[in-house]
Structure 1
Amino acid sequence: MIIEAAGTMPRCYALVPCAGVGARSGAAGPKQYEAVAGRPMVAHTLAALAQVQRLVATLVVLSPGDALFDAAMPGFAGERAWIECCGGATRAETVANGLGALRERGAQPHDWVLVHDAARCLIRPEWVDRLIDECIDDEVGGLLALPVADTLKAAGRDTRVAATIDRSGKWAAQTPQMFRLGLLAPALAHAGPGVTDESSAVEALGHEPRLVRGEWENFKLTWPGDFQLAERLLATKDTSR
């Protein structure tokens, strides 16, 4: 358990790992810079996070050789917009390095860090606020997620069905995932570079993160068809305002 310093309230920071190459998306370069509805994908993500007033700042973690972010996000600047070029070879390394950068900027062990995928560019401020509301007083933290609705199949040889898996009680993890810095940093160090999300690292220490219901639109753009769907959803969102 993280002990809060006397007289201090925990703050909330967003951390966006933005050092990936997007190999599965079919894009010519890192997918976070691919245009979606006329703007780089990451621009939609950061615009939504900027509207969450309880976030002290959003830290974007880039790869050391990133030469694209400045052109994609020329307006990303100010007291609540931070950049560090300390990304690692894996997501876990990038997040861990980002936590170190937050500490250098004054974040404390009892402060909350909301790690969000740059590729979940349809995130809405109210969904982030829902997560904060559910987790701000929780001992562990939690994540946005959705109960699995589809029938699940396990693949065997030659891409044939080997088994049908019981879907009851199963949830699909989303982001943001919200944990205290003083818990998440050692959890990632313990789990190693291969862990694929922050909750898994925290679970490996014996904790049980809270599942906070997300929305199906908060999907991660991974495959070429995902970009087309995101375009349609963003167009609908813009015309409904």
Structure 2
Amino acid sequence: MTAHFQQRGDVAVLVPAAGAGLRLGPGAPKALRPLGGVPLLVHAVRRLAAASSVAVIVVAAPPADVDDVRDLLIPATAGLPLIVVPGGAHRQASVAAALTAVPAGPQIVLVHDAARALTPPDLVDSVAAAVRAGADAVIPVLPVVDTIKSVDADETVLATVDRSTLRAVQTPQGFRRDVLVAAHADAVDPHTDDAGLVEKIGVPVLCVPGSERALKITRPFDLVIAEHLLATEPATRTLPS
């Protein structure tokens, strides 16, 4: 499939969206669960398309739903090039499939969770800007505000962890394209996130401020929070329909 670029953006965004999302309970794949009557994936893609840095979006969908997902997302991209490929058996395989489908051109690649459906476009642009400024790998983070304990196998507390050195990681995670390609070529652990893969090949990862709105919608209670955030989203934000 050939993608033709509009004269905007220099970033490809990969969205692995083939997972079942069992923690949300039985039903459709997690990325296709509704939030305010609209699938999470559509919310996520709308916000990616509204980011000025984005040139193309590549979605890894459930293999049986590729055509339906493409039809679902085309109105959400505002004319931005969209590629939909079959996802893999686990997240890493889906990211690798999407990465292979990125056309020649973009040398900055972001990887974004569809479950972070309300991520602001400004955060997408912020991560891309940090890579553009010279970072090999960038992750958006938030400070850890809860007290954290390390425990043993019997749930007995071993120590209180110094949370000042801890960060909660969000997406999109951003990379130089060649760095992400190298990390996936070297990958052996399907459960490691993309920044973790990059760490394993010795590439430093830079942290930038994240957003409270970029919460990951994993459990039914997360949907309740997301519904409230959606209802209070700034009216001035223009998103594709």
Query: Could you tell which deviates more after superposition, 163-172 or 150-159?
Result: 150-159
Q: CA deviation at 1:162?
A: 4.1
CA-based RMSD: 2.3
| Structure 2 equivalent of residue 220 of structure 1 | 216
Residues 131-153 of structure 1, C-alpha deviation per residue, up to 9 Å, x if partnerless? 22222122412011112121112
Are the aligned partners of 1:187 and 1:201 in contact in 2 as well (CA < 8 Å)?
yes
Alignment partner of 1:164 is 2:163: no
Large movers: runs of 4+ above 3 Å: 70-74, 76-79, 155-163, 238-241
Unaligned runs of 5+ residues in structure 2 are 1-8
Q: Is the 8 A contact 1:174 1:218 kept in 2?
A: yes
The answer to whether the 8 A contact 1:113-1:181 is kept is yes
Matches within 5 A, 1:77-92: 80-92=80-92
**TM-score normalized with structure 1 length:** 0.85
Question: 1:229, 1:78 → 2: CA distance?
Answer: 27
Matched, 1:230 2:229: no
Q: Which residue of 2 aligns with 1:56?
A: 55
Q: What percent of counterpart residues are identical?
A: 36
Please report the TM-score for the alignment, with normalisation by the length of structure 2.
0.85
Aligned pairs for 1:1-241 (under 5 A) are 11-66=10-65, 68-70=68-70, 72-73=72-73, 75-76=75-76, 80-102=80-102, 105-107=103-105, 111-237=107-233
- How many Å apart are 1:59 and its aligned residue? 1.0
Please give the alpha-carbon distance, in whole angstroms, between the structure 2 residues aligned to 1:227 and 1:50: 22
- Any gaps of 5 or more consecutive residues in structure 1? 1-9
Q: Distance in 2 between matches of 1:220 and 1:71?
A: 25
Paired amino acid for 1:11 = D
Is the 2:120–2:213 Cα contact (8 Å) retained in structure 1?
A: no
2: CA distance, partners of 1:77 / 1:229:
25
Separation of aligned partners in 1, 2:233 and 2:75: 23
Deviation, 1:232, is: 0.7
| C-alpha displacement of 1:116 | 0.5
> What is the CA distance between 1:74 and its match in structure 2?
5.7
Distance in structure 2 (CA, Å) of the matches to 1:155 and 1:65: 42
